[in-house]
Amino acid sequence: MEKLIEVKNLKTYFYTEDGVVKAVDDVSFSIEKGKTLGIVGESGSGKSITSLSIMRLVQSPPGKIVGGEVLFHGRDLLKIPLNEMREVRGNDIAMIFQEPMTSLNPVFTVGRQIAEAVMIHQNCDKKKAWEKAVQMLSLVGIPNPEKRIKEYPHQLSGGMRQRVMIAMALSCSPELLICDEPTTALDVTIQAQILDLINELKERTGAAVIMITHALGVIAEVADDVIVMYCGRIVEHADVHSLFKEPLHPYTQGLLRSIPRLDQNDEKLSSIPGMVPKMTQMPDGCPFHPRCHCALDICRQVSPEAFPVRGRMVRCLKYHPEYEQQWKEEAAGE
Amino acid sequence: MSNAQNAPLLEVQGLKKWFLVKKGHFGRPDRYVKAVNGVDFTVGAGETLGVVGESGCGKSTMGRSVMRLIEPTAGTVRFDGVDFTALSPQELRKRRADMQIIFQDPFASLDPRMTVGDIIGEPMDIQKLHASRAEREEHILDLCQLVGLDHDYLKRYAHEFSGGQRQRIGIARALALSPKLIVCDEPVSALDVSIQAQVINLMEEIQQKRGVAYIFISHDLSVVKYISDKVAVMYLGKIVEIAPKNRLYDVAAHPYTQALMSAIPIADPDHGRRRIRLEGDLPSPMNLPTGCCFHTRCPYATERCAQEEPELKLVGENHYCACHLTVG
């Protein structure tokens, strides 16, 4: 399959008073047409900054994309002039943000906000754009679209607003849809509706989706491939089935074990000890070693690279062929 | 007090909280948001009642009305043999030592101008628990140990801590007066998953050590299942189903509970299942539907559901459900 977008060694750093924060550190992945890539990680892991970097929406200063490539149809989005980038945003790549309450403009009707994007990108007149807006609203399942289109965001419920956001994002039939925590602020029944909707629309339009979330359940439902991020780096990249069946990285294992499951009975919930290190004071070696249950001396010294293990990419010395022997010896010694 | 031995720790009957939104003039009726509209439940000593429901279903208002942080409009709250709703403000303040609360937002619920030590010590000062400063200090240190906070933290301010640690401070504060019941209003919703598990384990541990009862309010059904003994499902200010947790999660009787259960995303991509899709949004609590409040979204609704309001009735062992279509 053709690769729609390819991110290579992306690095986004923030220059703060306390030092340089490597929010995205050497992140690479690619997505094929019609596929969904899930990005999971806890707050501060760099998952949102990754998507903002693709769109070149990172606030600068303090943020700066310091390296890497974002190839969209073979064209490096990081190198094209800003006015061309503006054509790409909203038209080829669209984004849905987490907060449906704050990402809509409160002083314009939802119809005007959808029509605005259509008019800018599709070069059509106002009347056509409004027709398109009505059509989009009914596509995302809003009842009475002709009436709703004249309403302001505050008149709509949270689920409705998120539907409006999706309608707006899809109005120019983007090839790539980036969803940044699209259901976090919503209730489970509404979340189920929105996830179904995104899946349905993906199938109909053949768009690729990047789904960013901290909820592993959501990932399991929608993603084909999954990236697990920790401290700005990808620690594991695998297809969704093998990731959930047999997580390799200790962090992924910890994450999966720390969510209460419905089929689980009263055994103690296992948790990952400690917390995410401060981004300005990253530990030496593997960033996860202070919280890792199987960290050894070698992990405190060597920062692992990502390398292929059993058909996926993992960033853990435990699986590295070069260190495997050393790791086993140390483990036996302890 | 021999009677109190068998009576549950907390007994809530017909609790209502209506918020006035518009005064009716010229004989027009006043308009209310019926946030909590008649709930009954009991919590035993050392027991955990989970309360689930979507936003706006009244679960937080319910938790606060039980404590009289919000004055309930109607109903009685019997706690430890005393009618809470009839207490004078002075008596209430004394009695509240036995009933504490942990809030959802660990960033907003701690005073930024107080040190951690003062935050944890404040309830002791209010209740005049300790005669000497040394005693108070020792108690604070004990609490820190219990919730896993470092002793050096006591002189620092809340903003220096992460969400998980702040929630530990909130828990220590709630435990300061050794309460018999703690209302936990979404205590882990703002936390990352790995930290969430730490806090849930801590709360379980404390329950085992101290025998405290919890009312655990959350929208996360997996977390509620994990921590609760029995679970109440709320919809538009009413409890639609209440049952021991395994019964509720295995044989949910109410169509709303079933839909809620089927909507939970499961962290297993090979898990095949049928999702019951609820259409539409929650009706406004200002304009409650007639009859069963769920009938507008219920896939099985009949004529009767639109007219007659169902009562909670026994459908299994300790399992109550308010639906015309379930048979006991």
Q: What are the tens digits of pLDDT across the range A116-136?
A: 888 888 888 899 999 989 988
How far is it, in rounded angstroms, from Cα B75 to Cα B93? 20
Confirm whether B247 is domain-assigned.
Answer: yes
The boundaries of the domain holding residue B176 are 8-327
- Spatial CA neighbour of B71 closest among B35, B42, B102: B35
Question: Residues 176..215 of A with a Cβ closer than 8 Å to B: which?
Answer: 187-193, 195-196, 214-215
Neighbours of A54 (CB within 10 A): 23
Give the one of A192, A244, A269 whose C-beta lies nearest to B200's C-beta: A269
Calculate helix-pair angle for A188-205, B255-263, nearest 10 degrees.
Answer: 50
On whether residue B2 sits in a domain, the answer given is no
CB B197 to CB A241 under 8 A? Answer: no
DSSP A159-199: HHHHHHHHHHHHTT--SEEEEESTTTTS-HHHHHHHHHHHH
State the CATH number of the domain containing residue B146.
3.40.50.300
pLDDT exceeds 90 at position A58:
no
Amino acid symbol at A30: S
pTM (two decimals): 0.84
Is the pLDDT at B109 greater than 80, yes or no?
A: yes
Write out pLDDT tens, residues A71-117. Answer: 998 889 999 999 999 888 888 999 988 776 778 899 999 999 999 88
Q: How far is B224 from chain A (nearest CA, A)?
A: 9
B57 domain residue, yes or no? yes
- Which residue type, as a one-letter code, is found at position A7? V
Check if the beta carbon of residue B199 is closer than 8 Å to that of residue B168: yes
Interchain CB contact of A240 with B (< 8 Å):
yes
Task: Note whether residue B115 is domain-resident.
Answer: yes
Q: Is A58 helix (H, G, I), strand (E, B) or coil?
A: coil
Condensed to tens digits (0 to 9), the pLDDT of residues B129-156 reads 888 999 999 999 999 988 888 888 889 9
B287 falls within a domain: yes
Domain count, chain B: 1
- Tell me which H or E stretch contains B149: none
Q: Is residue B136 part of a domain?
A: yes
For residue B3, being part of any structural domain is answered with no
Q: Which residue bears the tokens 């400063």? A: B133
Beta-strand ranges (E) seen in chain A are 3-16, 19-32, 36-40, 63-72, 75-76, 93-96, 176-180, 208-213, 225-230, 233-239, 307-309, 312-314
> Which residue bears the tokens 């969510």?
A259
Q: Tally Cβ neighbours within 10 Å of residue B128.
A: 7
* B281 has a chain A CB within 8 A of its CB: yes
Determine the distance in angstroms separating the CA of B192 from the nearest CA of chain A, rounded to an integer: 6
Asked whether the beta carbons of B282 and A156 are under 8 A apart, the reply is no
Q: What is the DSSP string of B78-134?
A: EETTEEGGG--HHHHHHHGGGEEEE-S-TTTSS-TTSBHHHHHHHHHHHTT--SSHH
CA angle B107, B108, B114 (to 5 degrees): 85
Could you report the per-residue pLDDT of A206-262, keeping only the tens digit for each? 889 999 988 888 899 889 999 999 999 999 999 999 999 999 999 999 988 888 877
Q: Please tell me the predicted confidence (pLDDT) of residue B3.
A: 43
- Residue where the block lists tokens 């249950």: A293
From B114, B75, B82, select the one nearest B9 (Cα to Cα).
B82
- In angstroms, how far apart are the furthest CA atoms of chain A? 75
